[in-house]
Chains A and B, each alone.
Chain A
Amino acid sequence: MTESHVPPPTADLAALGRRSLVVGALFTLISLVGLATNPAQFYRSYLVAFADVLGVALGSLAILMLHHLSGGAWGLVIRRILEASSRTISFVALFAVPLFFGLKHLYPWADPARVAGDEILRHRAIYMNPTGVAIRLAVALLLWTVFAQALSRMSKKQDEAPDAGLERKMQLVAAPGLALYCLLVTVVAIDLLMSLDPHWFSAIYGVYVVGGQALAGLAFTLLACLFLARRGPMADVLQPRHVHDLGKLLLAFTMLWAYFALSQFLIIWSGNLPEEIGFFKDRLTGGWGIVSLALALFHFALPFVFLLSRNFKRDLGRLVWVAILLLFMRWLDLYWLVAPAFHPGKLSPHWLDLTTPVALFGIWLWAFTRQLAVRQLLPVNDSGLAAALEVHAHD
């Protein structure tokens, strides 16, 4: 099995990391100008960017754990990419720090005057307060990091010597990890996103964010696959049937996201209750309707139609175009969740909305390339790898 020893293209990764770090730093400087001139807007845009980057890293962790539980060739060929991006969660945690300087610009519950004048917020204050949110976010990030590092370490140990027990152990970590991941995302999504609107609530909000993160993680993984396949030996490893499986998974996650989104919309729209409907009223009027329509068309309908085709799903070069579109729509979806809370009924884009995600993604990509460069690109001692790399005569 000489072909399974696939070293990472370190020089190419370093070059990409350097370039993305330069871009990230540049856009950070530009965004800091925004922080000085319009701090409220900066924090609003920054929250979207943070949730977006966190979503890619957490989505990768979720897919990694899913792969450990389900097995399959599709997961073995992308496992190192997923491990690398889930190891960046501790790095992404640093991006959370600036948020806590701008809480009062973002959340009604962080403004003592508003809490005092609002009975619901007053009653919620025992849970929904800056210290509580900070502790919950820190605990969640810590637990995600622990699971990501545990899986990554076991995977490294597996590279050193074959050990069937390790595969079982990784499953035993992944199962509670996946359940805990969903619960923690729900907690954090309520704290950071849903609470922007002080009175509104939706029970499906957590899984809606989970679905979006899985989609973001997979879309980014496909981009990383193309990068590796264009530069070196991964091109020989990655077969159309692997790409086909990833394409099917992308279709499934696209539909899952749409299912959650429609469920939320359908129930609230049908109920038409005053305490719930405001959320969609804010997002369907005054220009926001265009954004909602764009989400329905480009976050679901267009990718769905393309991903129906078998030939499309088997061609990585074409599949990444949908992945790029979906990554952009992930940002738009989070923007759609956050921004109308501040500008209900009036679409008011700001240049900071674009510079902050570029800044964070640029810096994050640098961290990702560093992580990806430290390991070879396939789990060589995994018992399923030989079957996963088998070349079928007519495939």
Chain B
Amino acid sequence: MKGILGRLFARGVMPEFGTPGPRIAGGELPAHLYGVIAEFANAEELLHGVHEVRKDGYQVMEAYTPYPIEELNDAIGHGPSRVPLLVLLGGICGAIFGFGLQYWASVIEYPLNIGGRPYNSWVSFIPITFECTILFAGIAAVLGMLVLNGLPMPYHPVFSVPRFQLASRDRFFLMILARDPRFRAGDTFRFMETLGASHVSDVED
């Protein structure tokens, strides 16, 4: 499972090698390193860690928390979400679809004289147009969120860290990815150890 799907959805990179430390058996670093992950006891320590990591020049990172933390998105430098734009586009498509469907049915394909009203009774088309706008915008929000998050993702390298399951309970994780230009296997690990994390682990792909 891990072998096939893991390769499919999350590709590791050969890490840039720094200085192997004494903690690593035989001074060997894993061949396929996805990143280094640090575990924090609470949100404040995590945010502090994020600031330190950013200050040191790292750019590509991910954080995992048991509940949403409002300021984390900005702190980690992810920038504004692109979901709103997709929602807007979805809404516009929905409005065009809703109105177009009714226009096509009542004006082009099945024009019926109802009480002498014009075929293009746009006033009575508005409720359906509105509902379609909301429907399409809602679907765009859900699908856009899934696609931009890369979901569904049956396997992710962080699952190889045993303690990571605590991210959905009461622990806060910060991972620097190996593809960060500043990432140096070994050095980054030791840097993460200075941030007040309770555990630091390599994340193998």
Interface residue ranges, A against B (CB under 8 Å):
262, 265-266, 269-270, 272, 308, 310, 392-395
Contact = CB atoms under 8 A, between A and B. Distances in A.
Contacts of B169: none
B133 to A, nearest CB: 12
The main secondary structure of chain A at its interface with chain B is helix
Contact of A394 (B74, B126, B127): B74
A393 B47 contact: yes
B123 interface: yes
Given A272-B115, A272-B117, A395-B71, A266 B124 contact: yes
Nearest to A394: B71
Contacts of B74: 394
Given A394-B71, A394-B75, A270 B126 contact: no
A289 to B, nearest CB: 14
B107 to A, nearest CB: 17
A270 to B, nearest CB: 6
Nearest to A392: B71
A308 B85 CA distance: 11
Interface residues of B, number: 14
Contact of A393 (B71, B115, B123, B127): B71
Contacts of B63: none
Contact of B124 (A270, A308, A393): A270
Nearest to A263: B127
Give chain B's interface secondary structure class: helix
B84 interface: yes
Contacts of A394: 70-71, 74-75
Contacts of B47: 393
B123 A310 contact: no
Interface in B107-163: 115, 117, 123-124, 126-127
Contacts of A310: 80, 84
Given A272-B115, A310-B84, A394-B75, A266 B70 contact: no
B189 to A, nearest CB: 27
Contacts of A270: 123-124
Contacts of A308: 88
A248 B108 CA distance: 40
Contacts of A272: 115, 117
Nearest to A262: B126
23 contacts: A262-B126, A265-B123, A266-B124, A266-B126, A266-B127, A269-B123, A270-B123, A270-B124, A272-B115, A272-B117, A308-B88, A310-B80, A310-B84, A392-B70, A392-B71, A393-B47, A393-B71, A393-B75, A394-B70, A394-B71, A394-B75, A395-B70, A395-B71
B35 to A, nearest CB: 24
A394 to B, nearest CB: 4
Contacts of B126: 262, 266
Contacts of B80: 310
Nearest to B87: A308
